[in-house]
C-alpha cells in the first residue's frame, strides 16, 4: 500500500500510552492514514481502537491499511470535537486518548485541496468537504484588516499587513483561486531577505488560512475538555502538536487541570475540594530525537504532552 505519511514519535507514544491491563480501549482522535493505530494494534494483541477522522478520503486509506485487525478497530467519520460532545459509545469509556494534530503528508501530496504552496492547486484547504468556507473565500472576501489580523494571529506572521495589502491589490484585478497565485503574491510582498529564510515566506500565511478554514484551534479547545470528561480515571491522554498555538492551548489546559484548585479565579472560595483532576506526566514536552528528525524532517516541530486522569471532576 502506498502510504504518504510517517507517524511521529511512535516509540514515545507507545511507551506513554501503552495499555496497563488487558482489553483496553484507545481512541485515536486523528486517525489519518492509520500509522499510530497500526503500531498499537500490532504491539498489543488485545487492545481495541476507535479511530476518528473527518476526511473520508484519508480514512479510506486507513481502513485498507488496518483491515487485517478486523473488529479490533472501529471507524467514525467525524470531527473529534463533535465525537466527544455527542459521544456515541455510551458507557464504554476509553483507557487512552491520542490526538496527533499534524496535517498528514497525504493532504499535501495527494488531496489536491491546496494545502501546499509547492503545487498549483485550487485554493481550498478544507479537511472536510461539508465546511462552508474555503481558503479562496477568505482570501477574496475578507476586509484588509480582518485578513491581516487572521494571518498574524493564526500564522504569527510579522509581515501580515504587507501580505494582506498585497492580496487586496491583487484580488482587485482578478480572483485569487490557486495556491500558486497566492504564493506568488506573498513572495513579492515581503522583503527580499525574508524570501530566502529558513522557511518559505508563504508558510505562515498558508498555516493561518488552514487553521481558520477548519476551525482547528476552537475545535481543540472544546475537544480537550470533552475528551477528558469521558476518559476513565486512571486513563491517559496524549497530544502531539506541531506549532506554538496548539501547544500553548494543550500546555495551559493540562497545567490548569493539574493544579490543586481548579475553580475559576473569580470564585471567592474553593468549591472543587482542592484536588487536581490530572497528573501531568510530561513536565516538558517530549521532542523527537535527532535521528528521527534526520529520517523524517516534518517531525522536527512535534511536541508531545501527556496527562493521567486522577478522578472525574464530579467526584
Residues 6+ apart with CB under 8 A from 180: 117, 120
**Is pLDDT above 60 for 205?**
yes
Residue 283 per-residue DSSP state: S
135 in the same domain as 189: yes
118 within some domain? yes
For 148-165, what is the mean pLDDT?
98
Question: Do residues 238 and 98 share a domain?
Answer: yes
CATH code for the domain of 95: 3.40.50.150
Residues 6+ apart with CB under 8 A from 175: 136, 140
Task: Specify the CATH number for the domain of residue 184.
Answer: 1.10.150.170
Helices (H) and strands (E) in the chain, counts: 14, 7
Q: What is the pLDDT of residues 56-68, one digit of tens each?
A: 999 999 999 999 9
Last residue of a domain, one of 214, 242, 258: 214
User: CA-to-CA distance for 58 and 195, rounded, in angstroms?
Assistant: 33
Q: Are residues 146 and 208 in the same domain?
A: yes
Strands ordered across the beta sheet of 303-309: 73-76, 48-52, 25-28, 96-100, 236-241, 303-309, 278-280
Confidence of residue 108 (pLDDT cuts 50, 70, 90): confident
Residue 1 pLDDT grade (very low, low, confident, very high; cuts 50, 70, 90): low
Report pLDDT digits (tens) over 61-87. Answer: 999 999 999 999 999 999 999 999 999
On whether both 130 and 266 belong to a single domain, the answer is no
Residue 73 lies in a domain: yes
Distance of CA 75 to CAs 30, 32, 101, 228, 267, Å? 11, 11, 18, 20, 42
pLDDT tens digits for 213-234? 999 999 999 999 999 999 999 9
143 and 193 belong to one structural domain: yes
DSSP 131-159: -S--HHHHHHHS-HHHHHHHHHHHH--TT
In this prediction, residue 7 carries a pLDDT of: 87
One domain, residues 125 and 190: yes
Task: Please indicate whether residue 107 or residue 214 has the higher confidence score (pLDDT).
Answer: 214
Instruction: Report the distance separating Cα 68 and Cα 126, nearest Å.
Output: 30
Residue 110: predicted pLDDT: 84
Q: How confident is the model at residue 151 (pLDDT cuts 50, 70, 90)?
A: very high
Around 297, how many Cα atoms within 13 Å sit in the side-chain half-sphere? Answer: 1
Answer with the one of 163, 182, 214 that is the final residue of a domain: 214
The answer, as to whether pTM is greater than 0.95, is: no
More confidently predicted of 84 and 198: 84
Does the residue 297 lie in any domain? yes
Q: Answer yes or no: is pLDDT of 3 > 60.
A: no
> What are the phi and psi torsion angles at 135 (to 5°)?
-60, -35
66 with 156, same domain?
Answer: no
User: Could you tell me if 27 and 171 lie in one domain?
Assistant: no
Q: Is residue 226 part of a domain?
A: no
> Is 224 within a domain?
no
For residues 179 and 240, membership in a common domain is answered with no
The pLDDT value recorded for residue 25 is 98
129 shares its domain with 99: no
Last residue of a domain, one of 184, 214, 244: 214
212 or 264, which is more confident: 212
CA-atom Rg of the chain in angstroms: 21
- Asked if the model's pLDDT at residue 298 lies above 90, the reply is no
Q: Could you give the number of structural domains in the chain?
A: 2
Considering the domain boundaries, does residue 223 fall inside one? no
Could you give the percent of the chain with pLDDT greater than 70? 97
Q: Is the pLDDT of residue 180 over 80?
A: yes
What is the structure's pLDDT at 129? Answer: 84
Structural domain range at position 180: 112-214
Q: How far apart are CA 68 and CA 284, in angstroms?
A: 37
| Residue in 127, 131, 307 with CA at minimum distance from that of residue 225 | 307
**Do 134 and 46 reside in the same domain of the chain?**
no
Question: How many CA atoms lie less than 13 Å away from 143 in the CB half-sphere?
Answer: 2
Q: For the purposes of burial, counting CB atoms within 10 Å of the CB of 40, is it exposed (0-12), middle (13-18) or buried (19 or more)?
A: buried
Return d(Cα 243, Cα 204) in angstroms, integer.
Answer: 10
pLDDT at site 127? 93
Q: Is residue 240 part of a domain?
A: yes
Report CA-CA distances (Å) from 161 to 43, 146, 305.
Answer: 50, 10, 34
Same domain assignment for residues 61 and 132: no
- In this structure, is residue 273 part of a structural domain? yes
pLDDT of residue 275: 84
Amino acid at each position: 500500500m502506498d502510504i504518504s505519511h510517517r507517524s511521529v514519535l511512535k516509540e514515545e507514544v507507545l511507551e506513554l500510552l501503552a495499555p496497563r491491563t488487558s482489553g483496553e480501549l484507545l481512541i485515536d482522535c486523528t486517525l489519518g492514514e492509520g500509522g499510530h493505530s497500526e503500531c498499537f494494534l500490532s504491539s498489543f494483541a488485545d487492545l481495541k481502537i476507535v479511530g476518528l477522522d473527518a476526511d473520508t478520503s484519508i480514512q479510506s486509506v486507513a481502513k485498507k491499511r488496518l483491515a487485517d485487525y478486523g473488529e479490533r478497530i472501529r471507524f467514525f467519520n467525524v470531527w473529534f470535537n463533535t465525537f466527544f460532545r455527542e459521544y456515541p459509545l455510551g458507557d464504554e469509556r476509553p483507557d487512552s486518548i491520542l490526538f496527533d494534530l499534524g496535517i498528514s503528508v497525504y493532504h499535501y501530496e495527494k488531496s489536491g485541496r491546496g494545502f501546499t504552496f509547492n503545487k498549483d492547486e485550487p485554493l481550498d484547504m478544507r479537511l472536510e468537504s461539508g465546511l462552508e468556507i474555503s481558503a479562496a473565500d477568505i482570501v477574496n472576501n475578507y476586509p484588509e484588516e480582518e485578513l491581516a489580523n487572521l494571518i498574524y494571529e493564526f500564522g504569527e506572521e510579522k509581515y501580515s499587513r504587507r501580505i494582506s495589502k498585497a492580496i487586496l491589490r491583487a484580488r482587485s484585478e482578478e480572483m485569487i483561486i490557486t495556491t500558486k497565485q497566492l504564493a506568488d503574491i506573498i513572495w513579492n510582498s515581503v522583503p527580499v531577505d525574508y524570501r530566502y529564510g529558513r522557511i518559505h515566506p508563504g508558510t505562515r500565511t498558508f498555516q493561518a488560512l488552514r487553521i481558520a478554514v477548519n476551525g482547528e484551534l476552537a475545535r481543540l479547545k472544546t475537544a480537550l475538555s470533552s475528551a477528558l470528561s469521558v476518559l476513565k480515571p486512571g486513563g491517559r491522554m496524549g497530544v502531539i502538536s506541531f506549532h506554538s498555538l496548539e501547544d500553548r492551548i494543550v500546555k495551559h489546559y493540562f497545567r490548569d487541570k493539574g493544579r490543586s484548585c481548579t475553580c475559576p479565579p473569580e470564585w471567592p472560595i474553593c468549591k472543587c475540594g482542592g484536588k487536581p483532576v490530572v497528573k501531568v506526566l510530561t513536565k516538558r514536552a517530549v521532542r523527537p530525537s535527532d535521528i528521527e528528525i534526520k529520517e523524517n524532517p516534518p517531525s522536527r516541530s512535534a511536541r508531545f504532552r501527556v496527562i493521567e486522569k486522577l478522578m472525574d471532576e464530579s467526584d
